[in-house]
Amino acid sequence: MRTQVAIVGGGPSGLLLGQLLHKQGIDSVVIERRSQAHVLGRIRAGVLEQGLVGLLHQAGVGNRMENEGFLHDGTMIAHEGQMFRIDFAEHTGKSVMVYGQTELTRDLYAARDASEGKTLFEVEDAAIRDAETEKPYLTLTHQGKAMRIDCDFIAGCDGYHGISRKSIPADKRHEYEKVYPFGWLGILSATPPVNDELIYANSERGFALCSMRNDQLSRYYIQCDALDDPDNWNDDDFWDELRRRIPEEAADTLVTGPSIEKSIAPLRSFVTEPMRWGRMFLCGDAAHIVPPTGAKGLNTAASDVHYLFEGLRDFYASGDMQGLDQYSGRALDRVWKTERFSWWFSNLMHRYPDQSAFDQKMQLAELAFLRDSPEAQAAMARSYVGLPY
C-alpha cells in the first residue's frame, strides 16, 4: 500500500490531522492498534481552546460542537470555603468550549468515513522503518495478513505507550518527567452540573474539580492517593468527600446519582525532545503529557497538529521543507509554556504529602494574590483559553 502520510494512532489528533490533510487533497492512511469502539469508549476532558475549535471548523467537523457544546467565558476558583471567578472574556476577549472528547472523536470518525479515508483498526506488530531516510515505511499485521505501507512522511499520534517515540534511538532522545504523588478519582454521572462553569477547589482535604459534559451529564474529580483503587470508593463515599472539598453553596445544591464510570487518573508531566526523527513527526501524548489540571492534553496535541499540517501543506504545495524542518522547535516552544501552566496550576490547587505549614501558607497566599490581582487573573486567563499558535 502507498500513501502520502501514514498516521500512527486513531485518536483525535491523528484523525484531525487526517481530516485537515484530506481538505488539502493530501492522502493519508490511519492505523490504530485498538478497535474503533475502544477508542470511542475513552473518557477524557472536554475543554477546548479556541485554537482547537478553529481547527475543527477548518477540518469541516465543527457543526455539532457548535450546536451541542457550551461556551464558557470563565471559571471558578474555590479555597477556604469561598469562590472567585476568572473572567476569560474580560481579560482576553475569548472563551473555551466544553464539548466531550468522545463526541469530538465521533465527529472526526464520521468525517473520515464520509471522505472514504483509509483506517486500519486492530493492527498488530506495527513498526516504523527507515524514518531517517526519504523513503520511510510501516510494517504491520492486519486481519492476519502482513502489510507494508510506503509513504512520504509518518505522523506519530499514538500516545505515550505507542511505537512512534520509541522508534527514535534512545541516545537521540532527551526525556523530561515529573510524577506527581497523587491521582484524580473521577466519576461520570447522569446529573446536572453543580455550576454553569467549572469549579477548581483547593481544600485542606485535597483538590476537587466540578466539571461537565452537557446539561445532564457531569464529571467530578477528587484528589486521591496515586496507588488508590476505584473499587475502594462507593458512590456515597465519593459524593460525601466531594461535598467536604467544595464551598457550602455548591455542596448544598449538588445533585448526586449513580456513577456511570469511575476511574483513577495518575498525574504526570512529560516531554521528549526532539519531536522529529527524519521524516517521522511526533504529535500529542507521543511527545508530551501534562497533568489534567486546566485540560491542556488534547489542546496541546491540537497545536502540534496545526504546526505539522502547515508544514505538510506547504511541502505538497511547493516542495518547501521549511515548515517541516521547523516543526519540532515551534511545537516544543509552545509545549513547554503549556507544561509550565499545567505545573503551576497543579501546584496551586493540590495538597502534597510532604507539604509543610509554610508551603500551605504560600499556596494560600498565591490563591489570595490571584483573587485580588487583575494582572494575575489576566495571565491565567491567557493560558487557560490557549496561547496563540
Region 5-70+97-177+268-345: CATH code: 3.50.50.60
Q: Cell 495538597 sits at which residue?
A: 351
Average pLDDT over residues 236-265: 97
pLDDT at 203: 96
* Global pTM value: 0.96
Q: State the pLDDT confidence band at 44, using cuts at 50, 70 and 90.
A: confident
Work out the percent of the chain whose per-residue pLDDT is above 90: 97
With 80 as the cut, is the pLDDT of residue 43 above it?
no
The pLDDT tens digits of the residues spanning 19-33 come to 999 999 999 999 999
pLDDT at 41 over 90: no
pLDDT tens per residue, range 154-212: 999 999 999 999 999 999 999 999 999 999 999 999 999 999 999 999 999 999 999 99
What pLDDT is stored for residue 46 in this prediction?
87
Q: What confidence category does residue 146 fall into, taking pLDDT thresholds of 50, 70 and 90?
A: very high
pLDDT, residue 1, reads 96
Q: Does domain 181-267+352-385 have CATH number 3.10.310.10?
A: no
Q: Which residues are catalytic?
A: 72, 200, 292, 296, 384
pLDDT value at 256 more than 80: yes
> How much of the chain, in percent, has pLDDT values that exceed 70?
100
Instruction: Read off the pLDDT of each residue in 3-29 and give the average, rounded to a whole number.
Output: 98
The neighbour count for residue 21, using CB atoms within 10 Å, is 23
Partners of residue 266 on adjacent β-strands: 183
- Tens-digit pLDDT profile for residues 294-315: 999 999 999 999 999 999 999 9
Q: Does residue 45 carry a pLDDT above 80? A: no
Q: In what order do the strands lie in the sheet with 82-87?
A: 82-87, 74-79, 199-202, 208-214, 217-225, 174-189, 259-273, 288-289
CA dist., res. 115 & res. 104, Å (int): 17
Q: How confident is the model at residue 42 (pLDDT cuts 50, 70, 90)?
A: confident
**Which pLDDT belongs to residue 352?**
96
pLDDT at 165: 98
Check whether 94 has a pLDDT greater than 90.
yes
Q: Give the 3-state secondary structure percentages of the chain, helix then strand then coil, rounded to 5.
A: 40, 30, 30
At 261, list the grid cell: 464510570
Label residues 255-283 b or e (16+ Cβ within 10 Å = b).
ebeebeebebbebebbbbbbbbbbbbbbb
Q: Enumerate the domain spans of the chain.
A: 5-70+97-177+268-345, 181-267+352-385
Q: Which residue has the cell 483503587?
A: 229
Mean pLDDT of 73-78: 98
Q: What is the mean pLDDT of residues 34-51?
A: 90
pLDDT at 91: 98
- The average confidence (pLDDT) of the chain is 97
Calculate mean pLDDT across residues 84-99: 97
The pLDDT score that the predictor gives to residue 55 is 98
What is the model's pLDDT at position 327?
A: 98
> pLDDT category, 382, cuts 50, 70, 90?
very high
Taking residues 34-48, what's their average pLDDT? 88
Average pLDDT over residues 116-126: 97
